[in-house]
Amino acid sequence: MGELEGTYRVLQTPGTRLGAPTPVGVSTLEPGQGPSAAAAWPAARTPVRVQLLDNSVEVFDVEPKCDGQVLLTQVWKRLNLIECDYFGLEFQNVQSCWIWLEPMKPIVRQVRRPKNTVLRLAVKFFPPDPGQLQEEYTRYLFALQLKRDLLEERLTCTDTTAALLASHLLQAEIGDYEEALDREHLRAHEYLPGQERALERILELHREHAGQTPAESDFQVLEIARKLEMYGIRFHTASDREGAKINLAVSHMGVLVFQSSTKINTFNWSRLRKLSFRRRRFLIKLHPEAHGPYQDTLEFVLGSRDACKNFWKTCVEYHTFFRLSDQPKPRARAILFSRGSSFRYSGRTQKQLVDYVKDGGMKRIPYERKHSKTRMSLHALNANLPRQSVLFTEGTTTPASPSSTSASFCSGPASPPATAGLLGSKDGSGSPTGRPAPSARWPAAERSTVAAAPPPGPPAFQPCQGLSVESPQLPSTRKTPPSLSALGPAEQGSSPLLSPVLSDAGGAGMDDQEEVRHKCAPADEAYFIAKEILATERTYLKDLEVITVWFRSAVVKADAMPADLMTLLFSNIDPIYEFHRGFLREVELRLALWEGSSSAQATGDHRRIGDVLLSNMLQLKTLTRHFQRLHEVLTELEAASRRLRRLEAVRRDFELQKVCYLPLNAFLVKPLQRLRHYRLLLRRLCAPDRQDADRGDQDRADRREALKAITEVTSALQHSLVRLENLQKLTELQRDLVGVESLVAPGRVS
């Protein structure tokens, strides 16, 4: 039930009711000024403390009765945070449970004593893949959140994985390995609970990260963490109908059920019809086709009504952010009585946020890493080091790993030196802006772009002109970072990709601000089309892995598929998969050069994409026979599934797993559909009215030849695509219609 807003009236005094005159005295008011006007003092502002992800505390002055959005806006503005919708402010209630600050509700109605409460900045929405985070600063904050989760034992993992995460965090904090400085830093800073036991392992792994930039270290932390089962999980204690203790959680994929720290069930958003709560009971209603012979409503009991409502609100926000394109319109409130909660997610959805950042909706402002201060304190122990201010730009590198699951990353924009007051003093003490910083602890051969420190500037509200970051600029051909083979099997599982986006990148070390802005954020349409190719190629490769990796593993383990059918299936799908793995690596490398800094900047060769597309589109011609046989593969697979009960059972169980989010036969149609997508993208690249940056004639010629090559391939395979799509639709229709056995006939799919 909603709350009723009452009305009140001012009671008259007895003298007023009886007509007594108003007492007259000596007034000090100005002529025409009444007592009510004199009492209208400006509202007092309340200082609210917010703990940031680097554990520094910032103070914000807000009016006590203002909505939470006012405070959130102040935080985002002071941090210059573009992708702010991934984050939120949380506080502890009376029961010591962490509650998210609601933007549309007054602060005083949420926080009991705002003056005495320290709110905490935290990541609210964890995307399934770090490639969806487009800003380097956002990835840096995510890495700090994961560091906090490790310390608070929320991100549980094996000791080896924890040491690997700590080593990457250490590399991002203090740079390359030096034993004395590493031990000094680890004595002063804690990364893991019981860090002393894993100290030697952390140092050993840190030694292997030589030359890795802070931005790359952040990306490696995110890449490792997102494969862990507890990535982004926040437990809500509950019990089921039988009284067994369980933990509920919500993620991008749906509502999760844990027993202790083991996941026992996942309710995908596509299976859910309604989420509701009644006092302490949290109710999940499933779609009729999802629950089958089981009950259509699941019930869980939480500790209190407030805890139940808090979890329900979190589910509503996650569903809106990850599953919807736009925010739902607020429901009209009843005039007299309201039934149920009117809570709705009020921020941008992930799709809106991605489009906003992609369109350049906000000016990118450099940021300051906390590790620069750490290096200063550590290097102050060594009097032999020269004291100077060094500007390093963070270059971009792409690991040349053969694994298809490895993702490239790109660093954020680098700029000239910034004023120290950009984000305010994080440690609460003001430091002079022009104070020289020590030289960074990176190999001398990899240092670049040395600049003098700027003169002391005005306080924090001056627009910042750049960034002083102690990080190296590495060539794109440096050695491959250590692989993630130390992860356990469960931690190496891939996550489904939802609208993946390649991170924006830039890496120019120049003193001219306009040139830096132009280099770091390419305003070239070809650049964004290349990013679209990369993002969709990653998703498409994940789809191919559903067959080449996961389905192969299922049928081999159960020994359910005949040898001739297995040969037919994988001899045609494996060459296609290997081609796209190589194509993805080439596009990743070219985009890393395009966005970052390298020796190719002098000639502009890094700003081309036509040669990569041409060589791969020509290579597609050699795979034509494999594409043409996909119709035969699907026909034989359907026939074998109807004939062999074991294969049918394995396939049915496999399609219920979260990795197989579509019917299995739909993944066999995707290779031909992908060719059609290539043709559409190349047509956009070759459009005569497209506005490009400076482009050579050779690159334009390569694009036209690539378009010609893919057009020939798609024209030759057009009939095969139509037949394959019709066959897939008929097979799915036959499976859905009970009693129809001969719907798929040879003449119906031509």
Q: What is the DSSP string of 474-542?
A: --TTSPPPPPSTTS-GGGGPPPPPSS--PPP------S-HHHHHHHHS---HHHHHHHHHHHHHHHHHH
- pLDDT beyond 60 at 14: no
- pLDDT beyond 60 at 538: yes
Secondary structure (3-state) at 659: coil
Q: Crossing angle of helices 563-595/610-620, nearest 10°?
A: 170
- pLDDT beyond 90 at 169: yes
Secondary structure (3-state) at 163: helix
Asked whether 113 and 206 are in contact (CB, 8 A), the reply is: no
Please tell me which of 478-482, 483-487, 687-691 the model is most confident about, judged by mean pLDDT. 687-691
Interval 192-199 mean pLDDT: 89
pLDDT for 393 equals: 34
pLDDT for 509 equals: 37
Q: What confidence tier does 165 reach under pLDDT thresholds 50, 70, 90?
A: very high
Please tell me the distance from the alpha carbon of residue 398 to that of residue 406, in angstroms, as a whole number: 9
- pLDDT beyond 50 at 409: no
Q: Where are the domains of the chain?
A: 46-55+63-123, 236-330+343-358, 522-748
**Measured between alpha carbons, how far apart are the two ends of the chain, in Å?**
59
Token pair belonging to 722: 């139509």
Torsion of CA 24, 27, 29, 31, to 10 degrees: 60
Q: What confidence tier does 276 reach under pLDDT thresholds 50, 70, 90?
A: confident
518 vs 99, more confident:
99
Q: What is the pLDDT of residues 38-84, one digit of tens each?
A: 444 555 788 889 999 998 999 998 887 888 889 999 999 999 998 99
Pick the CATH number of 46-55+63-123 from 3.10.20.90, 3.90.100.10, 3.30.70.890, 3.80.10.10: 3.10.20.90
- Determine which of 173-177, 261-265, 378-382 has the lowest per-residue pLDDT on average: 378-382
- For residue 728, which of 671, 648, 677, 653 has the smallest C-alpha distance? 671
Interval 397-403 mean pLDDT: 38
Please tell me the distance from the alpha carbon of residue 216 to that of residue 161, in angstroms, as a whole number: 17
Residues across the chain: 750
Residue 202 phi/psi, 5-degree rounding, is -65, -45
Token pair belonging to 665: 């036969």
pLDDT for 601 equals: 45
Q: Write down the residue that tokens 């573009």 correspond to.
A: 82
Please tell me the distance from the alpha carbon of residue 132 to that of residue 507, in angstroms, as a whole number: 19
pLDDT for 343 equals: 66
Please tell me the distance from the alpha carbon of residue 250 to that of residue 236, in angstroms, as a whole number: 9
What predicted TM-score, i.e. pTM, was given to this entire model? 0.51
Q: Write down the residue that tokens 């990795």 correspond to.
A: 659
Interval 612-626 mean pLDDT: 91
- For residue 124, which of 56, 53, 189, 173 has the smallest C-alpha distance? 53
Q: What is the pLDDT of residues 335-393, one digit of tens each?
A: 555 555 666 777 888 888 888 887 765 656 666 676 544 444 444 444 343 433 333 33
Q: Write down the residue that tokens 């709110």 correspond to.
A: 119
Q: Write down the residue that tokens 């020994």 correspond to.
A: 559
Q: What is the pLDDT of residues 425-435, one digit of tens each?
A: 334 334 333 33
Interval 292-308 mean pLDDT: 78
Interval 649-656 mean pLDDT: 88
- Determine which of 194-208, 599-613, 645-659 has the lowest per-residue pLDDT on average: 599-613
Token pair belonging to 487: 């992860």
Q: Write down the residue that tokens 């002055």 correspond to.
A: 61
Pick the CATH number of 236-330+343-358 from 3.40.640.10, 1.10.3720.10, 2.30.29.30, 1.10.472.10: 2.30.29.30
pLDDT for 292 equals: 53
Q: What is the DSSP string of 561-606?
A: S-HHHHHHHHHHHHHHHHHHHHHHHHHHHHHHHHHS--GGGGTTGG
Interval 153-178 mean pLDDT: 90
C-alpha dist (Å) from residue 589 to 219, 325, 499, 537? 16, 31, 21, 14
Strands 46-51 and 118-123: parallel
Please tell me the distance from the alpha carbon of residue 189 to that of residue 449, in angstroms, as a whole number: 30
Other CB atoms within 10 A of residue 148 CB: 17
| Percent with pLDDT over 90 in the chain | 19
Secondary structure (3-state) at 217: helix
pLDDT for 546 equals: 92
Other CB atoms within 10 A of residue 89 CB: 23
pLDDT for 92 equals: 86
Question: Which own/partner contact pairs does 340-347 have at CB distance under 8 Å and 24+ positions apart?
Answer: 340/2, 341/2, 341/309, 341/312, 342/2, 343/102, 343/313, 343/316, 344/316, 344/320, 345/316, 345/317, 345/320, 345/321, 346/69, 346/103, 346/104, 347/85, 347/103, 347/321
Secondary structure (3-state) at 48: strand
Which of 543-567 are b and which e, b meaning 16 or more Cβ less than 10 Å from the residue's Cβ?
bbbbbbbebbebbeeeebbeeebee
* Mean pLDDT, all residues of the chain: 73
Please tell me the distance from the alpha carbon of residue 622 to that of residue 257, in angstroms, as a whole number: 47
Query: What superfamily does domain 522-748 belong to in CATH?
Result: Dbl homology (DH) domain (1.20.900.10)
pLDDT for 745 equals: 59
